[in-house]
């Protein structure tokens, strides 16, 4: 096989990696919105203290990066045992490892939710049995998709580094020589960081305060007074997921996918041309373009929305 | 007698700690209020942002491990910068199109870079929202410094571990020689050791910086930025202690023998 064909095959695997990362991160954000996991959780916790009783799921016992780092490392360790130790097929090992991690995640979610809500019990917040029963399967299924995506990506990155196709070492172009459990940990931590930095703003600023005016930041005086009524009946975390899956979730997935793509494309091009200066030049260009795009967005938004006073 | 290259490693680790600390101060940390568009910055905490951005740099440092050190360091910084820039841009997209608010600063009347009057764009009752241009540039500088700081820990730990295991002379700055650049599965634990050490450095130093920042900081013009010198000194000392632990580890004969047997026997105990 020619070198160009090998590189084409490599790019195909790389496209799969970016796709998996994008989908995994999308589900990660929706899962964290559904469980009020990240910073918007402060309002869910504050609500009973200002007299607003709610039916939200609240499992924010740890920060998002730590939780998903833990999920990643548990999933990737189990995967390594099944794949490397017991010689299972990687696809089967990924599914079983993600399923076992999901059980761990369900346990954590339940204890965290029950602990958080009972701590708000002094303010009159009841612990609803049906909230746990209806939302836990959804949280579990999202965690399953997320963990399996990150475990699969860890496997692909690690194996790419040591794989050879027609005597061409793929590791010379892409992949990381880092053990799969550590890759699971670091991919999970980064996923949590991105999810909490980008997608959660859509939940915290918009969905949690839907009765506040669109086009204004949430003033301090409104903190705690979250929206607890839905289109029909009481709002639950399921309604949050339904809303955030339309904009916050996909944008978060896009963020992580873009980061992995841009970073590895510059590594790939630098390796193909065997020149690290190209590597640095592509990186610098990407950063300058992003800065200009951000400036354009800022000017556009200020012109479109106008001043407040 | 201590190996001089171990002392160089100690200095690199301590300088890396100071750079990570400075990086955290430059980042526009918004914390919980930013998630409600009540404060300027990115809606997450100091440690998580430093670690999240730094990890992207560490992965790049691992992929380019055989290149000369300065190239690895610059590339790690740029990778962290790309991660932070994409994240800040999408955070702005969500603030602008998801909530309908323009990015604005609150601690100053004029944007330190564009010199525009930003005060009218802040919603009354809030302290800014989104990531405006000055915070964006500050965030990039912070992520770059953080990435460089992490690579300054990753490179010496990896190179010393590999050199000791393969019984080769230690070279902390040049191109990694042929024998060492031919990796196989049983060389991976050395990368894991270096990766875990660098990850620990992020959490140690970002935590110390987080105590000074206490929640929210906008960038280099924020009044809290003045605390940087004292905090950097604290980080220098903490990183020096961490580096000393590494130095003791690499001076330990049993540990070095374990590394050697790992590289020789392919990870299987004889």
- A-B contacts (CB, under 8 Å): 266
Q: Which of A294, A300, A304, A307 has the highest number of chain B CBs within 10 A, making it the mutation to test binding with B?
A: A294
Mean pLDDT calculated for residue range B41-53: 89
Of B35, B48, B98, the CB nearest to A247: B98
Mean pLDDT lowest among A130-144, A242-256, B11-25, B165-179: B165-179
- Has residue B270 been placed in a domain? no
Q: Is A169 on the interface with B (CB under 8 A)?
A: no
Mean pLDDT calculated for residue range B170-197: 82
- Has residue B85 got a pLDDT over 90? yes
**Cα nearest neighbour of B120 on chain A:** A307
Q: In whole angstroms, what is the distance from residue A283 CA to residue A265 CA?
A: 10
**Total count of residues recorded for chain A:** 309
Q: B1: distance to nearest CA of chain A, Å?
A: 33
More confident residue, B270 or B127: B127
The DSSP element (H or E) to which A168 belongs, if any, is strand A168-169
Q: B140: distance to nearest CA of chain A, Å?
A: 8
Inter-chain contact A162–B184, Cβ cutoff 8 Å? Answer: yes
Q: In whole angstroms, what is the distance from residue A173 CA to residue B35 CA?
A: 38
For A26-35, the pLDDT digits (tens) are 999 999 999 8
Q: Is A90 on the interface with B (CB under 8 A)?
A: no
Give contacts of A44 with chain B, Cβ < 8 Å.
Answer: none
Mean pLDDT value across chain A: 92
Number of structural domains, chain B? 1
Q: Show the tokens assigned to A15.
A: 């496209």
Q: Is A276 on the interface with B (CB under 8 A)?
A: yes
Report the SS3 class of residue B173: coil
Q: Show the tokens assigned to B143.
A: 């992520």
Of A42, A174, A255, the CB nearest to B86: A255
DSSP letters, A140-195, are HHHHHHHHHHHHHHHHHHHHHHH-EETTEEGGGTS---S-HHHHHHHHHHHHHHHI
For B141-181, the pLDDT digits (tens) are 999 999 999 999 999 999 999 888 888 888 888 887 766 66
Inter-chain contact A294–B79, Cβ cutoff 8 Å? Answer: no
Of B75, B188, B199, the CB nearest to A177: B188
Range of the domain at B239: 4-265
Q: Is B83 on the interface with A (CB under 8 A)?
A: yes
Q: Which of B171, B170, B165 is nearest to B186 (CA)?
A: B165
Give contacts of B42 with chain A, Cβ < 8 Å.
Answer: 197
Cβ atoms of A283 and B78 closer than 8 Å: yes
Using pLDDT thresholds of 50, 70 and 90, give the confidence band for residue B270: very low
Using pLDDT thresholds of 50, 70 and 90, give the confidence band for residue A191: very high
Q: Show the tokens assigned to B105.
A: 């600063």
Phi-psi region of A179 (alpha: psi -120 to 50; beta: other; left: phi over 0): beta
- Has residue B11 been placed in a domain? yes
Q: B190: distance to nearest CA of chain A, Å?
A: 9
Mean pLDDT calculated for residue range A9-23: 94
Q: In whole angstroms, what is the distance from residue B41 CA to residue B34 CA?
A: 6
Of B44, B63, B99, the CB nearest to A196: B44
For A211-254, the pLDDT digits (tens) are 888 888 898 888 999 999 988 889 988 889 999 999 999 999 99
Cβ atoms of A98 and A151 closer than 8 Å: yes
Using pLDDT thresholds of 50, 70 and 90, give the confidence band for residue B269: very low
Alpha helices in chain B (DSSP H): 4-26, 31-35, 46-63, 69-93, 133-166, 178-181, 188-213, 228-251, 253-265
């Amino acid at each position: 096989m020619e070198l160009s064909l090998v590189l084409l095959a490599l790019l195909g695997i790389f496209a799969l990696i970016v796709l998996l990362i994008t989908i995994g991160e999308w589900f990660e954000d929706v899962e964290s919105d559904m469980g009020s996991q990240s910073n918007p959780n402060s309002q869910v916790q504050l609500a009973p203290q200002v007299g607003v009783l709610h039916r939200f799921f609240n499992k924010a016992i740890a920060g998002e990066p730590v939780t998903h780092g833990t999920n990643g490392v548990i999933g990737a360790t189990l995967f390594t045992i099944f794949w490397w130790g017991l010689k299972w097929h990687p696809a089967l090992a990924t599914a079983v490892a993600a399923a076992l991690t999901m059980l761990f995640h369900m346990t954590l979610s339940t204890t965290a939710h029950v602990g958080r809500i009972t701590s708000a019990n002094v303010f009159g917040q009841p612990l609803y049995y049906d909230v746990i029963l209806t939302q836990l399967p959804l949280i579990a299924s999202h965690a399953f998709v997320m963990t399996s995506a990150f475990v699969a990506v860890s496997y692909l990155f690690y194996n790419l580094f040591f794989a050879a196709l027609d005597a061409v070492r793929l590791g010379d172009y892409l992949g990381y020589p880092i053990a799969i459990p550590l890759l699971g940990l670091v991919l999970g931590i980064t996923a949590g960081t991105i999810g909490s930095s980008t997608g959660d703003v859509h939940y915290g600023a918009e969905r949690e305060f839907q009765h506040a005016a669109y086009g204004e930041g949430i003033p301090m005086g409104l903190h705690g007074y979250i929206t607890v009524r839905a289109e029909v009946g009481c709002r639950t975390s399921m309604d949050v997921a339904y809303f955030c899956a339309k904009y916050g979730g996909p944008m978060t997935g896009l963020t992580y996918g873009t980061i992995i793509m841009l970073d590895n494309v510059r590594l790939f091009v630098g390796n193909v041309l065997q020149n690290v200066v190209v590597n640095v030049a592509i990186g610098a260009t990407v950063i300058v373009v992003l800065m200009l795009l951000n400036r354009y967005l800022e000017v556009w938004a200020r012109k479109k929305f106008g001043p407040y006073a | 007698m201590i190996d001089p290259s171990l002392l160089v490693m100690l200095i690199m680790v301590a300088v890396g700690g100071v750079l990570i600390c400075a990086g955290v101060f430059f980042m526009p940390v918004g914390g919980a209020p930013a998630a409600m568009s009540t404060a300027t910055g990115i809606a997450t905490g100091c440690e998580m942002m430093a670690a999240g951005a730094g990890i992207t740099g560490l992965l790049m440092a691992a992929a380019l491990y055989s290149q000369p050190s300065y190239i690895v360091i610059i590339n790690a910084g740029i990778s962290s910068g790309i991660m932070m820039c994409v994240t800040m841009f999408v955070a702005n997209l969500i603030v602008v199109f998801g909530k309908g608010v323009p990015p604005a600063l609150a601690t100053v009347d004029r944007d330190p870079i564009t010199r525009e009057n930003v005060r009218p764009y802040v919603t009354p009752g809030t302290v800014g929202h989104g990531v405006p241009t000055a915070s964006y540039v500050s965030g990039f500088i912070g992520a770059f410094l953080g990435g460089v700081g992490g690579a300054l820990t990753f490179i010496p730990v990896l190179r010393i571990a590999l050199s000791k295991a393969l019984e080769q002379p230690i070279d902390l700055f040049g191109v990694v020689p042929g024998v060492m650049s031919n990796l196989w599965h049983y060389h991976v634990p050395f990368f894991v050791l270096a990766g875990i050490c660098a990850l620990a450095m992020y959490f140690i130093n970002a935590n110390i910086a987080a105590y000074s920042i206490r929640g929210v900081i906008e960038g280099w013009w924020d009044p809290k930025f003045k605390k940087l010198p004292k905090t950097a000194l604290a980080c220098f000392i903490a990183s020096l202690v961490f580096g000393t632990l590494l130095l003791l580890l690499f001076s330990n004969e049993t540990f070095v023998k374990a590394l050697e047997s790992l590289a020789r026997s392919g990870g299987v105990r004889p």
